[in-house]
Amino acid sequence: MEEKRYRQVQNFLKLQIQKGYYVVGDYLPSENELCSTFSITRTTARKALEELMKEGFIGRQHGKGSIVRERRQSLGLLTVKGFSEAVGKDVTTVFLQHPQPGFWNPEIHFPISENEIRESCIHFARQRCVGEIPVMIEYNWLANTHLEGIGDIAFIDGSFFKTLSQHYRIEIIGSEQELRAENANKNIAVLLRIPLGSPILHISLKFHTSKNNFYIYSELYCNTVNYPIGNSYHL
């Protein structure tokens, strides 16, 4: 079967956004313009735009048009955009380890499929700071077969998810997470510059992506004393 008309238009526009032809704040072509350029009816054009809105790429304003948005559905606890919003402060990021081939670590909380274990693994780790104070340590693992050259390029705007979208056309479509309050072990205590045994928030994450069988695993350790993790959800 041929792909549905509205999905063709939807994916075309999505690609334009991902490629940066439209940036945040830009208006997409109006429904009527889409009608004539794609030879479709407004019903179909509207369906394409409504799907893009559901996916979080655009917002729609009555009387004005469809505006490109920062894609930031709250996925579990942290937004797609990232950590800065969750603590509501400007966050600086320091790489503890740049992306490079490594091994799947038993620290990963969610079970890893046999397929993933057979493949090699990319690992990177970052320290997030507010001002000079480290507030989160973040470890990430992912299969080595989906992101060619990830070790050689800088993250777009320092964001892994943005790089995933714009460079590899892979979107985050869901997540699973588990939360625990724990005592900081020696390693974490040193990295967060807190006393051994301080209470820390440990978040285990498994991100689902638009690419089949490709998941991203993260283990986050947060010092929430001064900057609690916050988010919000609205229907």
Partner DNA sequence: CGTTTTTACTTGTACGTACAAGTAAAAACG
Binding footprint of its own copies on the chain (CB under 8 A): 54-56, 73-77, 173-183, 199-202, 204, 208, 222, 224-225, 228-235
Instruction: Give least dist CB 55 to DNA, A.
Output: 14
**Cβ atoms of 13 and 20 closer than 8 Å:** no
Instruction: Give least dist CB 18 to DNA, A.
Output: 20
- In angstroms, the Cα distances linking 90 to 140, 210, 229 are 21, 29, 14
10 Å Cβ neighbour count for 119?
Answer: 15
Instruction: Give least dist CB 179 to its own copies, A.
Output: 4
- In angstroms, the Cα distances linking 93 to 48, 84, 109, 136, 137 are 37, 10, 24, 10, 10
Which residue, 136, 110, 124, is CA-closest to 207?
110
Q: How many residues at the interface with DNA, by CB under 7 A?
A: 26
10 Å Cβ neighbour count for 141?
Answer: 22
Give, as ranges, the residues between 41 and 100 that touch DNA (CB under 7 A). Answer: 41-44, 46-47, 49, 60-66
Report if residue 33 touches DNA, rule: CB under 7 A: yes
Q: Which amino acid, one-letter code, is at 112?
A: I
Q: Which is nearer to DNA, 63 or 149 (CB)?
A: 63
Q: Which is nearer to its own copies, 173 or 190 (CB)?
A: 173
Q: Which amino acid, one-letter code, is at 155?
A: F
| Residue 119 touches which of its own copies, DNA, none (Cβ within 5-8 Å per kind) | none
Q: Which is nearer to its own copies, 73 or 145 (CB)?
A: 73
Which residues contact DNA by CB under 7 A?
1, 4-7, 28, 30-33, 39-44, 46-47, 49, 60-66
